Structure 1
């Protein structure tokens, strides 16, 4: 193993202050939990048993959605559904395979890894990482990773399947703790999920749900996809700054110096810090030309009026097959630039080399696939039993019962959304259930739907990184174990918890300052107040 360059963060011992001891306690408690695969299996069984108890006692809450809407029961109630009776057990047995194969992140990860495998096996990723980080100031590398993570949300899942493992590789190449690099990327991609400089795929989705909820009070009310753009644009820089500071001054010092003996030997590359050769530079030039070709192809399918991947009915660019199937572009992108690099450097000569690279990439996902099988059952059972919806509605009803009407209500609202997100991880699914409660309620006390939606997005984003219910949590855990074989759920949660604490605190205060102190709109034509 070649000697890594040293950094101040590596040699600085973490001060054992109260906050560090608290994180140590979280890590210790979390690591008392069993292996993640076992944990999800036990949780799935626990949901089945709990559903039997709640179903027996007839636990139910009033459905906030209007009568006659899709999925609303005739009596207007959301009831706990038992999986312990005959119907429930039959549904488990017939749905087990579909739960696994239909788990959304699984297909995305497998397809994306086919392309990433080609880029990795050809040597492109190693050369690209070295070209980026050789001589780069460590603190600027951290800022770049967090910022790139936030921006990656425009392209949906690309940050999860590409940037987070790349963050670990970059830190490893610099001789810094690779888990700190993964944490920085994870914080940007998932903790800062709603912040962005551009309108992403989540914006029109949430706006549509908000509009439907607002029309329960005002049938003519419309909410645009750009409703939160100003606030989320500014939030990008806030989250990038906070995420970078937490990474540099809290997470990395706590992790300490990296012990490479804990890593999977297959990831250790003796040449990670070697200077680029002339052949590698030639390969990067060819990869750059392939990149330009892919970008040109992407533009031709989306930008012109006749673009084949625009929405066939409306001509819209955002709500279109281009973004709905963006994982295909990830595949095309990495296969193209990886093969171009491999041909130029001689690491890839035939189609067999490409196939072998894809096979090797998928073989490294064995633990993730096993984890997904059990995680998919847990998520499916949780949805079938209505426990997620009951939890969300109960939490919203609690907010109503507090009787708060001033702007301070938004702090409680954001906190409640963050807590609900721990059990109902999908942003759209959570908002579909809670928007019909929160939006009309807050409109009636004088706040506009656009401002309500912006506050919701803060709570929804900031706890993504500490909940196993987040779809990609298992994938992050599987990748992290490549650098630390004995890594547990508690270590990952404790590593990400500082980001959650600082994100939700600073972002909430920023929202309050933006909307109620300075009085800026959260987006174009988006008011803060509403007159019933």
Structure 2
């Protein structure tokens, strides 16, 4: 199949050219954290010299780490990271600081299981099956829904799903770039949405947990804490993608001049689900149902409920169930991937499963290096006392301004959007922002779950409007298969209507969620009782 036109040069002018040039000056996120640690050490020395402190009324009888409690008043005082105690702690506790970082164990656990599901071909087969034999008029909404669900497939969502959507549009006689745009918008621009929680929920909430414990040491993350919110994004964004693709993007592209020739038909056939894969999907589906039933039984069988805290009341009774979801997702991905691979021929022995798990850990090597420095940044942030001081004083200032909760959350959303133009990693940004905004908003009565939801919304829609997004060059390569003349500016122009629409919908949805005080997930609300009252 031929592609019309010649490749155009990259546009360097205008705002997008400025963003690209500035973004290219930024180093790797790991290097950024090294700089942040250095800046934090200097700031802590300045704060200790100036005598920075903050106090709040505290109902507990035991002070959190790095704080003093006297007559019901909790006081944080800035501590220089150059002090003997902090330097000693830095070097003697370095392995402990790294190993005890909450996101590390959570993410590695999930990734070992997800690697089996991905490497065995389970995720890719599910995507291909979902798109096969679909009416051309219903391709767009189906692409939108599958795109947002496919986040669980990690790289497969970009490498398999997006080019496959373009192929399906071409075979159906529609413009393939419209299919590519719809898929890219769903996978990347709708990154905050999904039908069920997954790896990204665990990853971001693990950072939220570390930040929330600055104020409430007993706060424990719930991977389902944003479930209703992220599901509502799918409901809201799907018709938006449908309308924009069919009524704005495809008419603008014009009639596609290509044909579904033999090469294209052969590629579609290669992307079809084989008989062995279909058998594997049936086996994996049955096993998934059994696992769900078994997991539920541990919470409902009379006289044997290891996943229920019988001594607690209310939603606290379900805390063991929420905490066990990490293990459940690990077992679900591992077992369904293995049984699928056995039927499909990609898993021939237990050794293959072990190799896939090891591959999952190997792919996490860059993350491990990043986490080493992120863990120390978060720990040193706590040692210095600067995080609680900023949170308490910031909360007092915001409280004095009497800004409504929607305005506060939209500010976090917009800050996340701006940073996303330059730093693609959602976890990297949240690991820096969460120690400040989560405690601050908790003191103002906004739950950690709602703050996380606002951040996720802002982090998503800008993915498709920046050349700095890590998969942007790959999407550009996919687009040039159908039109060699398409350049960076052309792809950005193609995606901009989606980004602006998602931005408007995201802000409106966040405001409405807070205004109506809707539940965010099982046991998670927008508002919480203010943790303390400020005092001096």
TM-score normalised by the chain length of structure 1: 0.63
Counterpart in the other structure of 1:344? 343
The 8 Å contact of residues 367 and 478 in structure 1, kept in 2 or not, is answered as no
Query: How many aligned positions are there?
Result: 439
1:100 aligned onto 2:98: yes
Counterpart in the other structure of 2:19? 26
Distance in 1, Cα, partners of 2:469 & 2:448? 30
The 8 Å contact of residues 100 and 376 in structure 1, kept in 2 or not, is answered as yes
The 8 Å contact of residues 194 and 232 in structure 1, kept in 2 or not, is answered as yes
Distance in 1, Cα, partners of 2:298 & 2:340? 25
1:285-364 map, 5 Å: 285-305=282-302, 306-314=304-312, 319-364=318-363
Going from structure 1 to structure 2, the CA distance change for 1:387 and 1:464 (only over 3 Å counts) comes to: farther
Distance in 2, Cα, partners of 1:40 & 1:228? 28
User: C-alpha offsets along residues 279-300 of structure 1, whole Å, 9 cap, x if unaligned?
Assistant: 2222222222222322222232
Counterpart in the other structure of 2:220? none
Going from structure 1 to structure 2, the CA distance change for 1:103 and 1:313 (only over 3 Å counts) comes to: same
The 8 Å contact of residues 48 and 84 in structure 1, kept in 2 or not, is answered as yes
Counterpart in the other structure of 2:444? 438
Counterpart in the other structure of 1:167? 157
Deviation at 1:227, TM superposition (A): 12
Q: Secondary structure at the match of 2:396?
A: helix
Counterpart in the other structure of 1:414? 409
User: C-alpha offsets along residues 244-275 of structure 1, whole Å, 9 cap, x if unaligned?
Assistant: 889999999xxxxxxxxxxxxxxxxx899532
Q: Secondary structure at the match of 2:81?
A: coil
Residue among 257, 271, 277 paired with 1:280? 277
Going from structure 1 to structure 2, the CA distance change for 1:312 and 1:381 (only over 3 Å counts) comes to: same
Counterpart in the other structure of 1:462? 457
1:65-144 map, 5 Å: 65=58, 70-71=63-64, 72-74=67-69, 76-134=74-132, 139-144=140-145
The 8 Å contact of residues 454 and 522 in structure 1, kept in 2 or not, is answered as no
User: C-alpha offsets along residues 206-226 of structure 1, whole Å, 9 cap, x if unaligned?
Assistant: 9xx9xx99xxxxxxxxxxxx9
1:38 aligned onto 2:40: no
Deviation at 1:324, TM superposition (A): 0.4
Deviation at 1:42, TM superposition (A): 2.1
The 8 Å contact of residues 124 and 156 in structure 2, kept in 1 or not, is answered as no
Deviation at 1:120, TM superposition (A): 2.9
**Which runs of no fewer than 5 residues in structure 1 stay unpaired?**
150-158, 214-225, 253-269, 440-448, 468-475, 486-493
**Which runs of no fewer than 5 residues in structure 2 stay unpaired?**
168-176, 217-223, 251-266, 420-428, 463-467, 478-491, 530-536
The 8 Å contact of residues 374 and 431 in structure 2, kept in 1 or not, is answered as no
Going from structure 1 to structure 2, the CA distance change for 1:95 and 1:498 (only over 3 Å counts) comes to: farther
1:200-215 map, 5 Å: none
Distance in 1, Cα, partners of 2:62 & 2:496? 38
User: C-alpha offsets along residues 359-387 of structure 1, whole Å, 9 cap, x if unaligned?
Assistant: 22222222222222222222222232233
Deviation at 1:456, TM superposition (A): 5.3
The 8 Å contact of residues 86 and 383 in structure 2, kept in 1 or not, is answered as no
Deviates more, 1:238-247 or 1:494-503: 494-503
Task: Give me the CA root mean square deviation.
Answer: 5.5
Distance in 2, Cα, partners of 1:382 & 1:251? 46
1:385 aligned onto 2:378: no
1:54 aligned onto 2:47: yes
Q: Secondary structure at the match of 2:54?
A: strand
Going from structure 1 to structure 2, the CA distance change for 1:50 and 1:146 (only over 3 Å counts) comes to: farther
The 8 Å contact of residues 119 and 125 in structure 1, kept in 2 or not, is answered as yes
